[in-house]
Amino acid sequence: MTSYDPLTVPPLWPTLVIVFLNSLGTATVWTGVFFVASEQYAFTSLANYALAAVGGVIYVLGALTAGKAVRLIAGPNRKIRPRGMLAGLMVLLAGACALAGFGRSPWTLWAFIAIYSPLTGWLWPLIESYVSSGRSGRGLARATGRFNIAWATAIPLTLLGMAPLLKVSPLGVFLGLGIVHLLCLPFIAMLPPQPRPHGMAAVEDAVGEAALAKRFLHSFRGLLFVSYVLVSLLIPRMPERFTEFHLDVAWHTPLAAVWTITRLGTFILLERWHGWHGRLRTPVWSTATLLIGSALAYFGGGPITIALGLIILGIGAGGAYCGAIFYAMDVGDAQVDAGGKHEALLGSGYAAGPIAGLLIQLSGIGGAT
């Protein structure tokens, strides 16, 4: 298969920098915020699940409307281009971070989630369209793999970096994140005004038929949804569980980062080795590790068992995500809508997990609330 012509494709590195910086926000909102809420406002698992459920539902709404939003705000007949919309989103996200950072009441945290979640639902499909812009074949496969590594690297770094702030100034996490969003602006200026259409991501001799790719896409999308349900069921409960074991707060986010580190390792492996494409064994081992890891992490009777479960969970989550985004790029269209569907699926998992957690907590099965 013919790969992309490098003369017609914008450089990938500015996009990857933007991906990395914005993933610091992803780590903060989908994981770190629960530890901030616990330290600053004494949120219980029940309150954290409610916060996560609201964020997940609103994120889905943002992701599903991403394509329409881009066409309405930065369409062909508009003065604003997708690049300009991306810059505007950075400013709005920084403003939301300032609201949470300077706030001294729980309502500011809820308002932050209500503003930040839908904006990032628009943001990520737009960024993903720049990742795939003008690429096909091995070029698109490599770009997708590097995208995975870029955003996944930021997650554990954020959780490790948050640890000292949680003891000194929990809300300082949001002020730092606001600055990070503004740092994206010069890199956005390096992008073309709008992303270009992309081709297929299939690698020669890896996925031979489009029909097979579609079957794998459906399988991995289902698996991706399950992985985010399991992760979002676990993480809001972690602050309370770590407190039960009398772990110092400085260890909370580093321990919660364990699964993100093994997921990153899986991303790196699957970016370098393409033997997993078109192979039934990939969704099989991804499913097995997801179920085993989440069970150990949720029901573990001590920090070591929880950490082991999170390690195994990260391997399964990495396999699920790599498969889902690879086949989405392979089969999906060339517009922001393709990324919007992918992100909406993630958001659905982020919403379903906390809703399940709320029901478990209210039923008394999940322990103290």
User: What is the chain's mean pLDDT, rounded?
Assistant: 86
Inform me whether the pLDDT recorded for 334 exceeds 90.
no
pLDDT value of residue 337: 64
Q: Phi-psi category of 278—alpha, beta or left, where left has phi over 0 and alpha has psi -120 to 50?
A: left
Q: What angle do CA 248, 253, 257 make, to 5 degrees?
A: 135
**In terms of residue numbers, what domain contains 112?**
6-363
| CA count, 13 A, side-chain hemisphere, 88 | 13
* 197-232 pLDDT tens trace: 655 555 444 444 567 777 888 889 899 999 999 999
368, part of any domain = no
Closest CA to 198 of 68, 327, 335, 321: 335
- For position 365, what pLDDT does the model report? 62
Mean of pLDDT values over 174-191: 96
- Statement: residue 61 has pLDDT above 80: yes
**Per-residue confidence band for 367, with pLDDT thresholds at 50, 70 and 90:** low
Q: How far apart are the first and last CA of the chain?
A: 56
Least confident stretch, 20-29, 48-57, 76-85, 205-214 = 205-214
**What is the model's pLDDT at position 50?**
94
The rounded distance, in Å, linking the Cα atoms of 354 and 230 is: 9
CA distance 260 to 263: 5
On the question of pLDDT at 190 being above 60, the answer is: yes
Number of domains comprising the chain:
1
pLDDT value of position 7: 47
**Model pTM score:** 0.84
- Give the pLDDT score at 49: 94
pLDDT tier, 74 (very low <50, low <70, confident <90, very high otherwise) = confident
List Cα–Cα distances, 337 to 121, 224, 333, in angstroms. 11, 18, 8
279 found inside a domain: yes
Q: Are 170 and 51 in contact (CB under 8 A)?
A: no
pLDDT for the residue 206? 44
pLDDT tens-digit map of 284-303: 999 999 999 999 998 988 88
Q: Looking at residues 133-157, what average pLDDT do you find? A: 85
Looking at residue 56, its pLDDT comes to: 93
Contact 125, 66 (CB under 8 A): yes
Task: Give whole-number Cα distances, 202 to 152, 164, 340, in Å.
Answer: 22, 44, 21
Using alpha carbons, select from 43, 365, 30 the residue that is nearest to residue 228: 30
Q: Residue 265 burial (CB < 10 Å; 0-12/13-18/19+)?
A: middle
At residue 3 the predicted structure's pLDDT band, cuts being 50, 70 and 90, is very low
Work out the pLDDT band at 368, boundaries 50, 70, 90: very low
CATH of the domain at 54: 1.20.1250.20
Closest CA to 55 of 31, 39, 78, 75: 31
Residue 2: the pLDDT is: 39
Is it the case that residue 143 has pLDDT exceeding 60?
Answer: yes
Is 27 part of any domain? yes
Residue 214 lies in a domain: yes
Residue 4: its pLDDT value, please?
Answer: 41
Residue 77 confidence (pLDDT)? 72
Mean pLDDT of all residues in 231-251 = 89
Q: Which of 336, 264, 352 is nearest to 89 (CA)?
A: 336
pLDDT at 157: 92
Does a structural domain hold residue 156? yes
Region 57-63 average pLDDT? 91
Tokens 């009398």 belong to which residue?
A: 246
